[in-house]
Amino acid sequence: MRFLLLLFFAGSVHAQSTLDAVKKRGFVQCGVNTGVAGFSQPDSKGVWRGIDVDFCRAVAAAALGDASKVRFTPLTAQQRFTALQSGEVDILARNTTWTLGRDTSLGLNFVGVNYYDGQGFMVPKKLNVKSAKQLNGATICVQPGTTNEINVADWFRANKMSFKPVVIEKLEEVLNAYFAGRCDVYTTDHSGLIALRATRATKPDDHVILPEIISKEPLGPAVRHGDDRWFDIVKWSLYAMIEAEELGLSRKNIDQQTANPSVQRFVGASGDLGKALGIDNKWAYNIVKQVGNYGESFDANLKPLGFERGLNRLWNQGGLMYAPPIR
């Protein structure tokens, strides 16, 4: 009886695989931030934009052949993991730091890193603070359920300093508190500080991002444990965007195929790489044709806000972006 129950359970899980559900539904459901410019935020027409949004569209292009077949669920830091665990979303692509604890205890798998980051501090220029070492006794705004909350406590303790936390869940509310002067400092990932200062501050020049980076924050998409096929599709969609940039393939030139064997495999002109993933052999071609490579996404979404590639350059350009061979 126990054996039969296990067989039934295994069959049910297989029957309800994420890829099957996505195909039946006709779109990918993607969990994103409630609004951080450059990563995930609706524009004036309500169209979602950002590198996390582009990644979700890339998965839709790979899995369904159409990058437009995706819907977005805005999630707070507190909501995000439950939404993925419960099946409310198929992918979590929301400025989420890959940590051992999250990888092992929350029932999810990180597929890779789409932005290498670190935590920083922003203060009003009028405070005349030049270094985080001057923040002893400061009041600091931070969101709960984030690595930022833990990191700031660890950093102050390690430096034998004290601070007063103001913990607020919703991004709009924590920003309002900071801009209204309820706290001296706002702390989050450095990328978030750049984006929020550029787009949410009435006068961006009135706020200073301090030089200290106090943590490692490898941000990346995640999927649920237990569905290796979906994990592979999402993982290789990220790698395809990175590999395309290294191969020099972009939305503009992807149709100008060369005899380069790596390019031929990438676009599906040779081999059965898509078949190995359970999707169309033109999966990677569809990603680049409809969404673009990683560099194109970075330049379209982050560069206008003042971001520099830094650690997020390709590995052969001094950065950390590196895709395993697509072959």
The CATH number given to whatever domain includes residue 211 is 3.40.190.10
24 and 107 within one domain: yes
88 and 124 within one domain: no
Mean pLDDT value across residues 182-187:
97
> Counting every residue, how long is the chain?
327
In a domain, 9, yes or no: no
Pairing of β 119-124 and β 207-209: antiparallel
In a domain, 318, yes or no: no
Residue that is last in its domain, among 215, 244, 278: 215
**Whole-angstrom distance, CA of residue 171 vs CA of residue 173:** 5
Interacting residues of 5 by C-beta distance below 8 A, sequence separation 6+: none
111 and 227 within one domain: yes
Torsion, Cα of 199, 110, 269, 58 (10° steps): -30
pLDDT of the residue at 8: 38
Interacting residues of 184 by C-beta distance below 8 A, sequence separation 6+: 123, 124, 127, 135, 138, 139, 140
pLDDT of the residue at 3: 37
Mean pLDDT value across residues 16-35:
95
pLDDT of the residue at 11: 41
pLDDT band at 15 (very low <50, low <70, confident <90, very high): very low
pLDDT band at 182 (very low <50, low <70, confident <90, very high): very high
228 and 202 within one domain: no
pLDDT band at 322 (very low <50, low <70, confident <90, very high): very high
Mean pLDDT value across residues 108-126:
97
pLDDT of the residue at 258: 79
User: What share of the chain has pLDDT > 70, as a percent?
Assistant: 95
In a domain, 131, yes or no: yes
125 and 99 within one domain: no
Mean pLDDT value across residues 144-150:
92
pLDDT of the residue at 259: 84
Pairing of β 115-117 and β 217-219: antiparallel
**Whole-angstrom distance, CA of residue 75 vs CA of residue 253:** 36
Mean pLDDT value across residues 145-162:
95
Residue that is last in its domain, among 150, 183, 215: 215
Pairing of β 28-33 and β 70-75: parallel
pLDDT of the residue at 6: 38
Mean pLDDT value across residues 144-166:
95
pLDDT of the residue at 183: 97
232 and 211 within one domain: no
pLDDT of the residue at 165: 96
In a domain, 316, yes or no: no
For the chain, what is the domain count? Answer: 2
Contact call for residues 92 and 98 (beta carbons, < 8 A):
no
Query: Residue 290: which of 127, 33, 114, 63 has the closest Cα?
Result: 63
Give me the helices (H) in the chain, please: 2-15, 18-25, 51-64, 80-85, 100-105, 147-158, 171-179, 190-200, 228-247, 261-267, 273-277, 283-290, 294-301
Mean pLDDT value across residues 65-85:
96
105 and 229 within one domain: yes
Mean pLDDT value across residues 240-262:
93
Taking the mean position of all CA atoms in its chain, how far away is CA 173?
22
In a domain, 322, yes or no: no
pLDDT band at 60 (very low <50, low <70, confident <90, very high): very high
Neighbours of 274 (CB within 10 A): 19
In a domain, 233, yes or no: yes
In a domain, 321, yes or no: no
Average pLDDT, the chain: 93
225 and 108 within one domain: yes
149 and 298 within one domain: no
pTM beyond 0.85: the answer is: yes
Q: Which of 92-106, 258-272, 276-290 is least confident?
A: 258-272
pLDDT band at 145 (very low <50, low <70, confident <90, very high): confident
Expressed as residue numbers, the domain containing 183 is 119-215
209 and 128 within one domain: yes
192 and 232 within one domain: no
Residue that is last in its domain, among 188, 215, 242: 215
127 and 111 within one domain: no
In a domain, 87, yes or no: yes
Mean pLDDT value across residues 116-138:
97
